[in-house]
Amino acid sequence: MSLRIYRPSLLLQPYVTAIWDYRNLLAGDNLALSILPDTATYLCFLYEDSLTTVHGRRRYTTRSGLAGFQSFRSDLAGAGSISGVSARLSPWGLSVFRRGIARDCAERRVDCRDIFPPYTIERIEDDLARLVSSEDRVGYVDRFLRSLLDHGAGDRLVQTACRALERSRGTCSIAGLARTLGLTERTLERRFHSQIGATPKKYARVVRLRKALLERRRQSNWADVACLAGYYDQSHMIRDFQELYGMSPDTLYPRLEFSSTIGFSGLLDLSESRSSAGWP
């Protein structure tokens, strides 16, 4: 498996955090790759074999597809070679590339042929398969996204709300945030849901748990992590781990040692072979 990560062009950077080029994503030891909730959405163009995604109790098999906002773990699988280019979008990025679909794409994987004209996706897949270098494939997808860009479809107040929730580690009051933005709580919720695909409360829950997971590297125990992350108690935090990640903190945390992407994304290898029993 090879995975290379690129910065998007300057025009895309408010809406795309990274573009990944990968070959044989699930080859070798990568038999249990998952995407943990991290507020991003992923627009994936595959040019070899199809990818199967298990999200909650639903299974999706697509070639090129979109993973909308997710509040619980997605597990990846596939036969053959899973190769492609994926754009990791900012929480509000999807709306500027395809207006009005964020809510409908949340908590699921959607075939790109249901979002864009099928002939456009087929052409992209064929063209990516012919390109030799990672740089050429990434540049191709970057140009395609720039051709779709609609700045007017964004909502700056929602973007401001997302950044405030990130800064507060998901602990700020939604009612207080709405007042700061000059909105009613109901209006903020409606606009947020339209742009992000989730309510501010659900978004904050994902942010808070992710911060707790990463905070464990700096703390000696989970009780301290729960306190710093703003949980009522450790049991409350553990319930969130089980509901959103599908496993306990002590089961999940050792896998972070082997992840080169978890610091800025949700991609993580959850295979047993990656576990380290001695990890502190």
Residue pLDDT, tens place only, 241-266: 999 999 999 999 988 877 778 877 88
Q: How many helices (H) and strands (E) does the chain have?
A: 11, 11
Band (278; pLDDT cuts 50, 70, 90)? very low
Provide the Cα torsion 161, 164, 166, 168; round to 10°.
-140
Query: Sign of the C-alpha dihedral, residues 149, 152, 157, 160?
Result: positive
Percentage of the chain beyond pLDDT 70 is: 95
Residue with tokens 């408010």: 14
pLDDT digits (tens, 9 = 90+) for 124-175: 999 999 999 999 999 999 999 999 999 999 999 999 999 999 999 999 999 9
Residue 72 has pLDDT above 80, yes or no: yes
Per-residue pLDDT, 277: 38
Per-residue tokens: 75: 């597990």
Nearest to residue 266, comparing CAs of 230, 221, 214?
A: 214
Per-residue tokens: 132: 């030799």
Band (268; pLDDT cuts 50, 70, 90)? confident
Instruction: Let me know: does 68 contact 108? Beta carbons within 8 Å.
Output: yes
Per-residue pLDDT, 242: 95
Topology of domain 2-149 in CATH is Jelly Rolls (2.60.120)
Band (26; pLDDT cuts 50, 70, 90)? confident
pLDDT digits (tens, 9 = 90+) for 208-239: 999 999 999 899 899 999 999 999 999 999 99
Per-residue pLDDT, 272: 63
| Alpha carbons within 13 A on the beta-carbon side of 71 | 15
Domain residue extents for the chain = 2-149
User: Rounded to whole angstroms, how far apart are CA atoms 98 and 148?
Assistant: 8
pLDDT digits (tens, 9 = 90+) for 174-209: 999 999 999 999 999 999 999 999 999 999 999 999
User: Rounded to whole angstroms, how far apart are CA atoms 143 and 43?
Assistant: 14
pLDDT digits (tens, 9 = 90+) for 1-21: 788 999 999 999 999 999 999
pLDDT digits (tens, 9 = 90+) for 80-116: 899 999 999 999 999 999 999 999 999 999 999 999 9
Percentage of the chain beyond pLDDT 90 is: 81
